[in-house]
């Protein structure tokens, strides 16, 4: 597995090595010892999957707080998506900055998003399936969000991003300036 770190501390692009021949390929998509060596002492407790039927579907930006803050290891198993993470850690040198990566079954890439980030994505192909492992269980009480189009963050969404696909919850999320301090940056 290859682990590429972003300029934003904590975010990691994970690319499994593929061993192929005329039949196809084999890849380890997750290996705990290698992942922990790159990302720290992480334990996953739940796997999630969602299907977005339409191109341009926007989901997010989501995060959980307190004891239910989630780290996420995200991959795309069908279609294609632009996966986005926004640093919400107060005191971070990259607070309010975002990073994005295209995830597809063809490129096999994954994105590690530690707790303290908001996460969202936009589908680039129809019938896109996203799978992700999380480090804390879902908690409705701790489920929060951030406006996907906050101009103070300035995410460069793909031209296909369709605001009509947003859930009612995502349409009503606050801007970064209106969020309380939910996370504190701890230098690695």
Residues 122-142, mean pLDDT to the nearest whole number: 98
% the chain with pLDDT above 70: 99
Distance of alpha carbon 106 from alpha carbon 1, whole angstroms: 16
| Residue at token pair 């906050």 | 150
In the set 62, 138, 142, 185, the catalytic residue is 62
pLDDT band, very low/low/confident/very high, at 187 (cuts 50, 70, 90): confident
Q: What average pLDDT is seen over the chain? A: 96
Specify whether 62 is catalytic. Answer: yes
What pLDDT is stored for residue 146 in this prediction? 98
In the set 5, 132, 138, 185, the catalytic residue is 132
Distance of alpha carbon 21 from alpha carbon 23, whole angstroms: 5
pLDDT of 22-32, one tens digit each?
999 999 999 99
What pLDDT is stored for residue 135 in this prediction? 98
Domains and CATH numbers, the chain: 2-178 (2.60.120.10)
Residues 119-147, mean pLDDT to the nearest whole number: 98
Q: How many residues does the chain have?
A: 188
pLDDT of 54-77, one tens digit each?
999 999 999 999 999 999 999 999
Q: Does residue 188 surpass a pLDDT of 70?
A: no
Q: Does residue 43 surpass a pLDDT of 90?
A: yes
Specify whether 132 is catalytic. Answer: yes
Distance of alpha carbon 69 from alpha carbon 111, whole angstroms: 17
Beta strands (DSSP E) in 114-161 are 117-123, 128-134, 143-145
Residues 94-119, mean pLDDT to the nearest whole number: 98
What pLDDT is stored for residue 186 in this prediction? 86
pLDDT band, very low/low/confident/very high, at 156 (cuts 50, 70, 90): very high
Beta strands (DSSP E) in the chain are 2-5, 12-15, 18-21, 24-27, 46-52, 58-64, 72-78, 81-87, 89-90, 98-103, 110-113, 117-123, 128-134, 143-145, 183-184
């Amino acid at each position: 597995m290859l682990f590429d770190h972003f300029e934003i501390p904590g975010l990691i692009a994970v690319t499994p090595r593929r061993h192929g021949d005329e039949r196809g390929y084999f890849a380890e998509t997750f290996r705990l010892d290698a992942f922990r060596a790159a990302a720290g002492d992480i334990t996953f407790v739940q796997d999630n999957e969602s299907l977005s039927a339409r191109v341009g579907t926007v989901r997010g930006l989501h995060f959980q707080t307190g004891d239910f803050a989630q780290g996420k290891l995200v991959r795309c198993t069908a279609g294609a998506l632009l996966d986005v993470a926004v640093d919400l850690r107060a005191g971070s040198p990259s607070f309010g900055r975002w990073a994005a990566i295209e995830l597809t079954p063809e490129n096999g890439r994954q994105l590690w998003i530690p707790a303290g980030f908001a996460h969202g994505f936009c589908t680039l192909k129809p019938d896109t399936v996203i799978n992700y492992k999380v480090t804390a269980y879902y908690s409705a009480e701790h489920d929060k969000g951030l406006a996907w189009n906050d101009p103070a963050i300035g995410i460069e969404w793909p031209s296909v991003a369709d605001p009509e696909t947003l859930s009612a919850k995502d349409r009503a999320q606050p801007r970064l300036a209106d969020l309380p301090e939910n996370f504190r940056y701890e230098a690695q």
